[in-house]
Amino acid sequence: MNLDEVRVKIDAIDGELLRLLNERAQLVNIVGKIKHAAGLEIYAPEREETLLRKLAALNTEQNGTLPEKSIRAIYREIMSAALALERQLKIAYLGPAGSWSHQVATGKFGHGVGYVAQPSIQGVFDCVASQAADYGVLPIEQAVEGVVHHTLDQLVDSPLQICAQIIISSGEGCPRSRFIILGRKASPATGDDSTMLMLEVQDQVGALVTLSQAFAKQEVNLRQIENRLVPQTSGEAARFFLEVTGHHDDAGLRAALDDLHSQGTKVKVLGSYPASTWVETMG
């Protein structure tokens, strides 16, 4: 084919793509009405990740020319436009515009939704809790004037849940940064999930071993552990943040948490979310 013939074929494909996108949009409108009638959340991170995994697998089966990263980026914007059709979502993020949190937010939710910049971590929490925003995007920790503010610490006393975790890197060889999506409701299981937990025990020798054994007994994999001291009126407690494999509704994880609770451990589930976190290099 010559150049003009190739362009004619591309134009025909674009026309078919547009027709199909509008047909998809009509179906999305129906989904929105069903969700509204049932009182369901408009944004469903578990559905989003399941769809993206399925499309990536299908692309591999078809020996697609586009890499998975491109497939995800294209469908992220398609789904963002779909969310705007169902209802104009608002996403709070740690500002200002152009910040890492802003870039992560637009990378996750696309450009079809609204964004609300907040000057502090607490501002994002307040915005989501008061329903001024539907979701919030925050780094796991932020350093300001030499003080490290841990988002997870604020989650301990909040009714909000982690709906998704995102990992980014600013370039090859650079350390990765972790971000979370805050929501007001827990995410349903996808079959491939992770859960963030807060566990508080008396700060004593063997405390971490005891925690680890409870999960090992139920064959629950510990993916990450962080700890900080929590001052109390009498003695001190050790606060552990753990990311484990599985959803908080999984029988094995529930059994491990019940075991720890019976031993006097303070337990709080901070959220369950799809295990396949979005990993992106951002300049």
Tokens of 65: 């020319």
Residue 170 pLDDT: 65
- pLDDT value, residue 147: 43
Fold designation for 3-86: Chorismate Mutase Domain, subunit A (1.20.59)
CATH class of 90-185: alpha beta
Give the residue extent of every domain in the chain: 3-86, 90-185, 193-274
Report CA Rg, the chain. 21
Output the six-digit token pair for 158. 């909040």
* Weakly modelled stretches of the chain, pLDDT under 70: 142-149, 170-175, 229, 231-235, 276-283
Q: What is the pLDDT of residue 151?
A: 86
Q: Which of 198, 201, 197 is CA-nearest to residue 264?
A: 201
CATH architecture classification, 193-274: 2-Layer Sandwich (3.30)
In DSSP notation, 11-71 reads: HHHHHHHHHHHHHHHHHHHHHHHHHHHHT--S--HHHHHHHHHHHHHHHHHTT-SS-HHHH
Sheet of 278-281: strand order equals 114-118, 90-94, 135-139, 176-183, 161-169, 278-281
Q: H or E segment at 122?
A: helix 121-129
The pLDDT score that the predictor gives to residue 172 is: 63
